[in-house]
Structure 1
Amino acid sequence: MVTVAVAGGGGGIGSDIVQAILKSNKHEVIVLSRSSQPLLTKQGVDVKIVDYGSVEQLEVTLRVISCIAAYGTNSTAAELSLLEAAKKAHVARFVPSEWNSPCHDVVDLYSGKGTVWKAVQSSGLEYTRFINGLWMNVWGPGCIRDEEEALGAYKNRPPFAIDLKAGTAIIPGDPSQKMVLTKTQDVGLFVAAALDLPNWEPESRIAGDTLTFTEVIQLVKRICGKDLRITHMSVENLQELLKGDIDSGERFYYQLLLAVALGRMGFEPTLNDLCPDIKPVSTAEYIKRHWTCD
């Protein structure tokens, strides 16, 4: 048994990771949080309220492994503080906050992840970053069954690219461009399983499914009997839109579409073969479970 400190474990992808580690019943979990987390405390999780700006306080808190899912104001500075504290506390392993695909140069809000990644690589710690492509849960908003499960770490956000409730879809770039899709709960399962691996590669790539947007739209037609109204947006269309005066939310949305169009969400998994007991949910299974009454 090892002790795993999860920064940001009270919500988002951190919550799915914490639940997966608890379910494995193999390791002790500490959650680092800016605020109390009564639901986790009831589960027996040791929740430490921390100041991410204080390396000294974090050093006292961290033990053995730091599994980072840091979000919020100035998350880059928070992660750099956590990394420095992990080095001083001599933790065994460190995981930076990624949970997508390497597109730091395309998506402005991810640029800080590139800074953290460079610092992690030169830290002297054993590390890995989890690459999981696009969260399948982005198609959960408005579903007709088990919405909490459908959303997972994607709560309180709008659908991305395909809005099944509204019946619309955007295909970014080449319609034959493949992308990796992974349910956030499955990401948690893979992270929990990776804690038992004797060695970590610099990248742990996870794939729940690999499809094109066209194939997803065809699945919606076959499973739900629903034709979606499709809009095609080329790389040039997206780049032109991003030159305009748009708010930060729209910029993030179109930059993420651009990342898909540029092929940044397509890759070969590595962790699936190392954790063969995990059978991730396919896109077809996800759509049938949450968007049909059968």
Structure 2
Amino acid sequence: MPTLALAGGTSPSLGRAIVTAVFAHTSWNVLILSRSTRPPIWLRAIDQHAKRHKIAAVDYGSVDSLATTLKGQAVHTLVSVTSAVDGTQAQTQINLLRAAVSAGCKRFAPSQWGFGPKGWAEVGSLRWADQGVREECANHRDQIEIACFNQGSFMNYIGHGIFATPELEDVGDVAWAKYRSGAGYKPGEDEACEGLHRQGPLMDQSGAFLVGLKNGIAELPVKDDGQWPRITFTSMRDVGRFIAAALDLPRWKQEMGMAGDTLTMGELLASAEAVTGKKFKVTLIKRQDLLERLANTRDADFMQRLWIEFNLAYIRDRDDEVVVRPTLNELCPAVKPITVRDYMEKHWQGAP
């Protein structure tokens, strides 16, 4: 069976989404590259005896060490989901690429999850993760097949708005049993939010973004002409399913976008009100207000600047930026991603 190496694969978000999907839908084994060999509880719950995975402790700063690890496990494909906030993210992707080439891997995907290719050029707060990465990929395309995977915005921020206050953590055997029965996900908040951090800027401090179903509020960008802009949403688990399906494709394209659902902000609001039966309190976000806020926000306030720039990108309403081309949907028609309306209905019904 072929081996996928997943850099950062112990993460409870994209790492978990891809590992669980690969186990469920493919015959591939997984080599997880991590700074620690300690398996997270969700991984122990689904592969207790490590029959389909190995964890290798690696130094992301050493190309030679990375290459030795990849070559020793005869890795076919290397996918990165690392998210280093210490300034090393871009160099880590470059090191992983060079190691994959040195080890004779056939395919590589850097950690550039999110907006389409124009987003990395236009959204200033994303550039920290892209410094030289795409140029390095272009330099190696004759040696290894390379794709950038983009999914737009994570649908799971809606889940934070449903589970507006964090649930109590389960521990020990109780937690293990819940992860085991849910194929790596606990019912409730974990199943809805899928490891996504509560980082959204919604005023109720739930960590949600755009809509908060529990509290019936919305903060939505609007275009200069008063029309609603579009947004592409994809759930974390559907990203995992698309990547699992992509492993068996005969060829990868350079840009491998995927879309769970592309809709307008107005349609997002209408679904939220229909599912909850509430009339939402809506705050409209306009370009000029955002530009003024951005000018008065310190560079050190990274998350605040990020959300402002995201909303400006939504207002631009451009293909290949906030609206992602569904390339993987077309190449992998067996993957049926959840829509925003279905996501809301599924998790709203199960919320406390």
Could you say whether these structures have the same fold, taking a TM-score greater than 0.5 normalized by the shorter chain as the test?
Answer: yes
- For 1:146, the equivalent position in structure 2 comes to 188
Deviation at 1:245, TM superposition (A): 2.8
Q: Distance in 1 between matches of 2:125 and 2:271?
A: 31
- For 1:257, the equivalent position in structure 2 comes to 311
**Structure 2 counterpart SS, 1:105:** helix
- For 1:169, the equivalent position in structure 2 comes to 218
- For 1:289, the equivalent position in structure 2 comes to 346
- For 1:119, the equivalent position in structure 2 comes to 136
Q: Which amino acid in 2 is paired with 1:292?
A: Q
Deviation at 1:293, TM superposition (A): 4.8
For residues 26-80 of structure 1, the C-alpha deviation after alignment (integer angstroms, 9 at most, x for no partner) is 1010000112332335622200111101111100112221111121232112111
Of 40-49 and 19-28, deviating more is 40-49
- For 1:218, the equivalent position in structure 2 comes to 270
Deviation at 1:155, TM superposition (A): 3.4
Please say which structure displays the higher CA radius of gyration: 2
**Structure 2 counterpart SS, 1:31:** strand
- The 8 Å contact of residues 97 and 113 in structure 1, kept in 2 or not, is answered as no
Q: Which amino acid in 2 is paired with 1:150?
A: A
- For 1:188, the equivalent position in structure 2 comes to 240
- For 1:47, the equivalent position in structure 2 comes to 55
Deviation at 1:8, TM superposition (A): 0.7
Deviation at 1:89, TM superposition (A): 0.9
Q: Which amino acid in 2 is paired with 1:162?
A: V
| Structure 2 unaligned spans of 5+ | 164-186, 200-206
Give the % identical residues. 33
- The 8 Å contact of residues 133 and 179 in structure 1, kept in 2 or not, is answered as yes
- The 8 Å contact of residues 172 and 261 in structure 1, kept in 2 or not, is answered as yes
Q: TM-score, normalised by structure 2?
A: 0.79
For residues 237-257 of structure 1, the C-alpha deviation after alignment (integer angstroms, 9 at most, x for no partner) is 212211113422211111122
- The 8 Å contact of residues 136 and 182 in structure 1, kept in 2 or not, is answered as yes
Deviation at 1:109, TM superposition (A): 3.7
Of 57-66 and 193-202, deviating more is 57-66
- For 2:337, the equivalent position in structure 1 comes to 280
- The 8 Å contact of residues 220 and 227 in structure 1, kept in 2 or not, is answered as no
Deviation at 1:106, TM superposition (A): 3.7
Q: Distance in 2 between matches of 1:195 and 1:106?
A: 30
**Structure 1 counterpart SS, 2:105:** coil
For residues 177-234 of structure 1, the C-alpha deviation after alignment (integer angstroms, 9 at most, x for no partner) is 2211111100100000001000111011111111111111101111111122111112
Question: In the TM superposition, what are the counterparts of 1:57-76 in structure 2 within 5 Å?
Answer: 57-62=65-70, 63-72=75-84, 73=86, 74-76=88-90
- The 8 Å contact of residues 182 and 207 in structure 1, kept in 2 or not, is answered as yes
Q: Which amino acid in 2 is paired with 1:80?
A: I
Q: Distance in 1 between matches of 2:104 and 2:145?
A: 11
**Structure 1 counterpart SS, 2:132:** helix
2:150 counterpart (131, 142, 158): 131
- For 2:181, the equivalent position in structure 1 comes to none
For residues 5-26 of structure 1, the C-alpha deviation after alignment (integer angstroms, 9 at most, x for no partner) is 0001111312211111111241
Q: TM-score, normalised by structure 1?
A: 0.94
CA distance 1:10–1:156, change in 2 (3 Å): farther
Query: When the two structures are aligned, how many residues end up with a matched partner?
Result: 294
- The 8 Å contact of residues 4 and 65 in structure 1, kept in 2 or not, is answered as yes
**Are 1:227 and 2:235 an aligned pair?**
no
CA distance 1:245–1:64, change in 2 (3 Å): same
